[in-house]
Amino acid sequence: MGKTAWVFPGQGSQYLGMGRSIAEADSKARALLDGASELLGYDLAALCWEGPEEKLKQTEYTQPALLTVSTMLSSILKSHGLAPNVVAGHSLGEYSALVAAGSLDFETAVTLVARRGRLMEEAVPAGRGTMAVLLGLDYQQVASICREAAQGEVVEPANLNCPGQIVISGHRTAVERAMALGAEQGARRVVELDVSGPFHSSLMRPAAEIFAKDLADADIRDPEVPVIANATADYVQDAAEIRRVLVKQLYSPVRWEETIQRLISQGVDTFIEVGPGRVLAGLIKRISRSVTVVGFQEMEGLEKVLEMA
């Protein structure tokens, strides 16, 4: 019998209306949403369901919104007796994974990601940093392009998502130079991302240093379920290590392809994407055609997940 991994999406997976069917169907899930609103000081349900969309896309709001909806969904799965063999999350999704693994309680996680989002927004002046995806090139090619494009500025591989899909991050002018070089050197497509900063690059180090203090004060426990970290593509064993990798995660690449390969090599053959969107399902299918991937983002998807269990 193969193993099941729950994987949790990050920024970019949000959409208006997310979590509504869950909140309407389950009072405990609704209580999580209301509790998050209380902690954050604004109506999170209204933001998730009515927008405005521009506000929901701002890092400071996106992060607690996605964490909350993902946790509502994982709480529904647990209430039906489901449990993962292992969890992982993409960038912000790592916090949802840590809640599912029992390392973070929900309230602590909401407070941390709201703070994380603000620090990430503030780390680099608006418009000075950006991210772009290069399609059809391998890691060595992208790393070489970044070195050539830097010219004293920062541009680095930031998300190693799946074969032929690597996101770069850094100063806007350096990223633009790298995009031009990527196109010249045979990238299938080069697309600037709609993000508010150069996330997962060394420009986030100042934010990470401040955030380290928040993590030091936070109540973090050893995981009850195995967790693989973005920054290392390896298992985290205890609370101290979780604090270290969450600091490192802010300025390090998300090693998603390695994470999925590692899980598959250790017997995971079923992935449940727990959270809004289908981004991770698409990436996992590009990494391996042999695994089963199912998404759970709204109430109508529950039956399919339960059938597989």
Catalytic-labelled residue, pool 70, 75, 91, 252: 91
Nearest to 19 by CA among 4, 38, 34: 34
Q: Are 175 and 154 in contact (CB under 8 A)?
A: no
> Which residues sit opposite 89 in a β-bridge?
8
Q: Is 13 a catalytic residue?
A: no
Name the CA dihedral angle for 289, 292, 297, 299, rounded to a multiple of 10 degrees: 140
- Catalytic pick among 37, 70, 200, 252: 200
Q: Parallel, antiparallel, or unpaired: how do β-strands 129-135 and 165-171 relate?
A: antiparallel
Active site includes 200? yes
> What are the start-end ranges of the E strands in the chain?
3-8, 86-89, 129-135, 155-162, 165-171, 189-192, 227-228, 235-236, 268-274, 292-296
Q: For the chain, how long is the longest CA-to-CA vector?
A: 55
Q: Which residues are catalytic?
A: 91, 200
